Structure 1
Amino acid sequence: MTLEPAREIAPGVHLIDTGYVRPRLAAAYLVRGRDAAAVVETGTAGSVPRVLDAVAAAGLRPDDVSHVVVTHVHLDHAAGAGALLRALPRARLVVHPRGARHMIDPSKLMAGAAEVYGAERVRALYGEVVPAPADRVIEAPDGFTLDLGDRPLRALDAPGHAKHHLVLHDPRSRGFFTGDAFGISYRETDSAGEPFLFPTTTPVQLDPPALKATLARMLAEAPERVYLTHYGMLEGDIARHAAALGHGLDEHVRLARAAPPGPGRHAALREALAGQLLAGLAAHGAPLDAAAALELFAVDLDLNAQGLEVWLDAQAAA
């Protein structure tokens, strides 16, 4: 497969296609400051050479990278963290306090992923998940700031997609590295230069009200850019994009609550989400036919339905 070349997309911010599953599905970012650099998101173990190549292409040495940041510990974002630390001798891993222990001992993380995908699929997708040395892990509570010299990056607690999720504010570019907190937006769905946003409601810690509060908190900083892991930088009217995403999340919740109980719930909910997707893409004018769109979002639709079901069951048990 032909991956997107690493490139500078905003001053001092480089986009890296991690090569996860297909081109332009998952991104990492290299952020340069005066004295050091940070890698935000790591992709999988197989993504590490891509990240290192991007560091070199930017004119940096491995020991110029002072920090590796993961927005949360889902494996498409963080599986490569331990292996990347081995290649970046000065770097320390910045992670949400709820996720730090899973980076130091990823066994429970791997077991949880195996329940969703199956053990063989997990090995194929993520490779060897190397533990991060405990003395190189920094827990980043709300407000934690790392400084690259003239470029402070501030972590905000960002629950909703997961309890172990943070977003990273970059005042220099007036942007946020959002992980999955700002949904997904694949470039194949762009129409007239405008992005199409779709929620990501994967298992197992989905909290829709908290996710909407996270969106509001980011908007309070008046960002001009968001750097999505899935996929790339969005610019322009970020408040409008956030509103569209919020409406999409509300519709996800409505469809979940309307899904019939019983063994057919997953299939019915997935079909309903697919209908929401296709209607949204048609209204957006996305240059994809229905078959191509359903193929592009196939995994997302499955995971979104699963996450909504876990949330529904938790609501019923509360």
Structure 2
Amino acid sequence: MDTRTTIRPLGGDVYEIDTRMAGYTGVTAGYLILSDRPCLVEPGTAGSAPVVQAALTELGVGAADLATVVVTHIHLDHAGGVGDIAGMYPGAEVVVHEKGARHLAAPERLMRSARMVYGDRLDTLFGELKPTDAARIRAVDDTGVIDLGGGRRLESYHSPGHAKHHVGLMDSATGDLYVGDAAGIYIPETADVRPATPPPDFDLDTALGSLRRFGSLQPQRLLFAHYGPVDEVTDTLDRSAEELRVWVDAVRDARDQDLELDHAVAMVRDRTDERYAITREGADPELAAKYEVLNGAESNVAGIMHALNRHA
């Protein structure tokens, strides 16, 4: 396969790696912290593993050098490559929230659920999550600490709402906060912030609580898995919260009208598309199509509808 790498140094011995989900560029990012104990955050999909390996090799990290692999949550665009990467780097410990740990050790149930959602597209988009030896997995709960060496730490903070097994990760040396999907999707080409509310775990109040927790950590920078670094921390977290409220209000109105999912999606699109440069008239259709694969309106609406029905 094509393993050309796109690596961007971000300062503080942090390197952004384009993990190229399904061949798309600029959609899924992993991060290498090249500390005394090198740490890979977000390995991406199973299909991304050869790209990530090539990037680590380019950065001087060999098979025996990687100390830790950390995932913010076990959705396949973030953690689908864990089993492959664990095989390539046999000394690396895998860190994940306790509610996701068993799925990395025994991924059959997770893969069955994913195939029900994606069908044949699963193989193209994500590939197969391979099991990781349970002895190599370290589960964290509300908080946890990953030793990066030299007194540097990566501290994990449970941040559910997008997923019950989601954690944010704070670098003690740089003040970088790896936000996974808990703060939504950042689109660097347009500076849009869009929500990520897929079923089955989305919950508005829990998600807003996680954003408040992120703010209380006073990070210097947000590092999005989708996609890249953002310096405007407070404004971006505020925008993330606002977008969640807007989408939930729109879906609630659709639900109150007893609309089927496709009609609800159309109504929500009509209400929200003008909020984002990526979906306004005259926007780049290829860019919009790329992010629709990752963060489709149908998935967001379905997740919010599921949450509203659960609460009802």
Report the TM-score, using the length of structure 2 for normalisation.
Answer: 0.92
Q: Which amino acid counterpart does residue 269 of structure 2 have in structure 1? A: A
Aligned to 2:309: 313
Aligned to 1:275: 270
Separation in 2, partners of 1:287, 1:85: 44
Aligned to 1:192: none
SS in 2 for 1:197: strand
Aligned to 1:12: 13
Aligned to 2:158: 157
Separation in 1, partners of 2:8, 2:141: 30
Q: Which amino acid counterpart does residue 233 of structure 2 have in structure 1? A: I
1:250 aligns with 2:250: no
Aligned counterpart for 2:222 among listed residues 222, 226, 247: 226
Instruction: Please tell me whether the aligned partners of residues 161 and 182 of structure 2 are also in contact (alpha carbons under 8 angstroms).
Output: yes
Unaligned ranges ≥5, structure 1? 190-194
Aligned to 1:216: 212
Unaligned ranges ≥5, structure 2? none
Aligned counterpart for 1:289 among listed residues 280, 283, 293: 283
Separation in 2, partners of 1:257, 1:246: 17
SS in 1 for 2:21: coil
Instruction: Please tell me whether the aligned partners of residues 202 and 306 of structure 1 are also in contact (alpha carbons under 8 angstroms).
Output: yes
Alpha-carbon offset, residue 10 of structure 1 = 2.5
Aligned to 2:114: 113
Q: Structure 2 matches for 1:47-66, cutoff 5 A?
A: 47-66=48-67
Report the TM-score, using the length of structure 1 for normalisation.
Answer: 0.90
Per-residue deviation, residues 297-316 of structure 1 (Å, max 9, x unmatched): 43421210111121122112
Distance 1:14 1:270, change over 3 A: same
Separation in 2, partners of 1:263, 1:9: 47
Separation in 1, partners of 2:90, 2:271: 46
Alpha-carbon offset, residue 187 of structure 1 = 2.2
Alpha-carbon offset, residue 55 of structure 1 = 1.3
Alpha-carbon offset, residue 287 of structure 1 = 9.6
Alpha-carbon offset, residue 128 of structure 1 = 2.6
Instruction: Please tell me whether the aligned partners of residues 154 and 172 of structure 2 are also in contact (alpha carbons under 8 angstroms).
Output: yes
Deviates more, 1:9-18 or 1:256-265: 256-265
Per-residue deviation, residues 228-263 of structure 1 (Å, max 9, x unmatched): 11111111x211111111111001110111014687
Q: Which amino acid counterpart does residue 69 of structure 2 have in structure 1? A: V
Alpha-carbon offset, residue 285 of structure 1 = 11
Aligned to 1:46: 47
Distance 1:141 1:260, change over 3 A: closer
SS in 1 for 2:43: coil
RMSD: 2.2
Aligned to 1:125: 125
Q: Which amino acid counterpart does residue 210 of structure 2 have in structure 1? A: T
Deviates more, 1:223-232 or 1:55-64: 55-64
Instruction: Report the number of matched residues.
Output: 307
Alpha-carbon offset, residue 271 of structure 1 = 1.8
Separation in 2, partners of 1:95, 1:233: 22
Separation in 2, partners of 1:49, 1:290: 30
Aligned counterpart for 1:298 among listed residues 292, 295, 302: 292
Instruction: Please tell me whether the aligned partners of residues 278 and 290 of structure 1 are also in contact (alpha carbons under 8 angstroms).
Output: no
Separation in 2, partners of 1:285, 1:201: 18
Aligned counterpart for 2:261 among listed residues 228, 243, 266: 266
Aligned to 1:137: 137
Separation in 2, partners of 1:199, 1:172: 29
Aligned counterpart for 2:200 among listed residues 199, 204, 209: 204
SS in 1 for 2:138: strand
Q: Which amino acid counterpart does residue 310 of structure 1 have in structure 2? A: H
Give percent identity, aligned residues only: 33
Q: Which amino acid counterpart does residue 304 of structure 1 have in structure 2? A: N
Alpha-carbon offset, residue 294 of structure 1 = 4.7
Alpha-carbon offset, residue 146 of structure 1 = 0.9
Instruction: Please tell me whether the aligned partners of residues 83 and 130 of structure 1 are also in contact (alpha carbons under 8 angstroms).
Output: yes
